[in-house]
């Protein structure tokens, strides 16, 4: 990683750029000074196809002029814009600055529309066809990479349409999740549960909670050991939204189903991160996006 934190690449790029321009200047100068050995008829002595002779004529002036203009333009460009490694151009232009300006311009153009939605409740915004269309585009651009274009999620990424919420599915909680993000942490619990055999018994007990296929003998043995997990998931295994722990009784498996999947999580733990959107989206955009997400699992109320 030191290669990416030092100034080596900046110096390398600047060196290559300066060398390339200098080489072009030298090439132009030497081509004008070099004298080729010619015969009395101004040919180089090279003959093709019997009578096609190579002449020793100078480069056309328009070509030389264009070459010089190109070199001058390159120097002038590097003076105004970034191009010499880490050197900022004198114009102060940056790609990030241009992007920020374009985003600010776009935000200003749609500000009146967003202001209308921001003054409405999430439930009411979810019923507005225009707001749903905007929310869908926001979702596609910012959320679909993890949750899928249909919001059905996948392994490790929650399904947003089924009403199963780790931290709560109220409008306020969705806004909070989008704004601040979430960090879900399932610690390694193998040592707290006991032996490897105990972990296997607990896995079967967890499967029994949702009526999933399991070994009933092992499930009975694992019930007592589940006490190590009850602090987060509750004695009944229904989870606690206050800490974002999963409901183990609903047969929804975020990180994989089956005995081995549960053993793996209990043994190695699991950390999930939902990135905060407050640095990417405005408060009004988060409000509209939250309305769209809320409507996915409350379709009857949103129509």
At residue 1, the pLDDT reads 46
**Domain ranges for the chain:** 2-80, 101-181+275-302, 185-274
- Percent of all residues in the chain with a pLDDT value above 90, rounded to a whole number: 72
**What pLDDT, on the 0 to 100 scale, is given for residue 170?**
95
More confident residue, 4 or 303: 303
What average pLDDT does the chain have? 90
> What's residue 141's pLDDT?
95
Q: Give per-residue pLDDT as tens, 3-59.
A: 556 788 888 888 999 999 999 999 888 887 777 666 677 777 778 887 888 877 777
Residue-level pLDDT at 182: 95
Q: What is the DSSP string of the chain?
A: -HHHHSSHHHHHHHHHHHHHHHHHHHHHHHHHH------TTSEEEEEETTTEEEE-PPPPHHHHHHHHHHHHHHHHHHHHSS-STTPPPTT---HHHHHHHHHHHHHHHHHHHHHHHHTS-HHHHTT-HHHHHHHHHHHHHHTHHHH-TTS--BTTB--SSSS--SS--SHHHHHHHHHH-EEEEE---HHHH-SHHHHHHHHHHHHHHTT-S--HHHHHHHHHHGGGTHHHH-TTS---TTTTPPPTTS---TT--SHHHHHHHHHH-EEEEE---TTTS-HHHHHHHHHHHHHHS-HHHH-
CB 276 within 8 A of CB 101: no
pLDDT number for residue 3: 55
pTM over 0.75: no
In sequence order, which residues have a C-beta less than 8 Å from that of residue 46 and are 6 or more positions away?
A: 53, 54
* Reported confidence tier of residue 86, pLDDT bands at 50, 70, 90: confident
Confidence grade of residue 113 (pLDDT, cut at 50, 70, 90) = confident
What CATH code would you report for 101-181+275-302? 1.10.760.10
User: 101-181+275-302 and 185-274: same fold?
Assistant: yes
Classify residue 33 as exposed, middle or buried by CB count within 10 Å of its CB (0-12, 13-18, 19+): exposed
The predicted-structure confidence for 195-234, as pLDDT tens digits, reads as follows 999 999 999 999 999 999 999 999 999 999 999 999 999 9
- The predicted model gives 177-197 an average pLDDT of 95
User: Does position 239 have pLDDT exceeding 70, yes or no?
Assistant: yes
Rounded to 5°, the CA angle 166-170-172 comes to 105
Q: Check residue 272 and give its pLDDT.
A: 92
Q: What whole-number distance in Å separates Cα of residue 186 and Cα of residue 271? A: 6
Neighbours of 120 (CB within 10 A): 16
Cα distance between residue 300 and residue 126, in whole Å? 11
In angstroms, what CA-CA distances link 172 with 45, 92, 167, 245? 87, 42, 11, 19
Confidence category of residue 244, pLDDT binned at 50, 70, 90: very high
The residue ranking higher by pLDDT, 48 or 297, is 297
Residue 288 has a pLDDT of 96
pLDDT of residue 291: 96
The 10s digit of each residue's pLDDT in 140-183 is 999 999 999 999 999 999 999 998 999 999 999 999 999 999 99
Q: Would you state the pLDDT for residue 49?
A: 83
CATH 3.40.920.10 matches 185-274: no
């Amino acid at each position: 990683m030191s290669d990416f934190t030092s100034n080596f690449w900046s110096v390398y790029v600047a060196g290559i750029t300066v060398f390339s321009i200098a080489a072009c200047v030298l090439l132009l100068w030497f081509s004008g000074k070099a004298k080729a050995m010619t015969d009395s008829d101004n040919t180089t002595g090279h003959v093709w196809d019997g009578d096609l002779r190579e002449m020793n004529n100078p480069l056309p002036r328009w070509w030389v002029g264009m070459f010089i203009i190109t070199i001058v333009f390159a120097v002038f460009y590097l003076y105004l814009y970034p191009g010499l490694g880490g050197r900022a151009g004198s114009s102060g232009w940056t790609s990030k600055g241009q992007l920020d300006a374009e985003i600010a311009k776009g935000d200003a153009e749609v500000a009146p529309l967003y202001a209308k939605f921001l003054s409405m409740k999430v439930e009411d915004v979810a019923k507005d066809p225009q707001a749903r269309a905007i929310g869908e585009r926001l979702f596609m651009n910012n959320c679909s990479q993890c949750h899928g274009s249909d919001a059905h999620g996948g392994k490790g990424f929650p399904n947003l349409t089924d009403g199963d919420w780790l931290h709560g599915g109220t409008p306020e909680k969705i806004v909070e999740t989008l704004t601040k993000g979430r960090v879900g942490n399932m610690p390694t619990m193998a040592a707290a549960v006991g032996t490897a055999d105990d972990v296997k018994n607990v896995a079967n007990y967890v499967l029994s909670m949702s009526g999933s296929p399991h070994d009933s003998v092992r499930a009975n043995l694992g019930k007592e050991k589940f006490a190590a997990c009850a602090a987060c998931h509750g004695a009944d295994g229904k989870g606690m939204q206050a800490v974002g722990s999963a409901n183990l009784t609903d047969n929804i498996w975020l990180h994989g189903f089956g005995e081995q999947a549960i053993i793996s999580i209990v043994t190695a733990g699991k950390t999930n991160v939902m990135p905060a959107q407050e640095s990417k989206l405005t408060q009004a955009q988060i409000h509209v996006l939250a309305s769209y997400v809320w409507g996915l699992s409350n379709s009857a109320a949103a129509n």
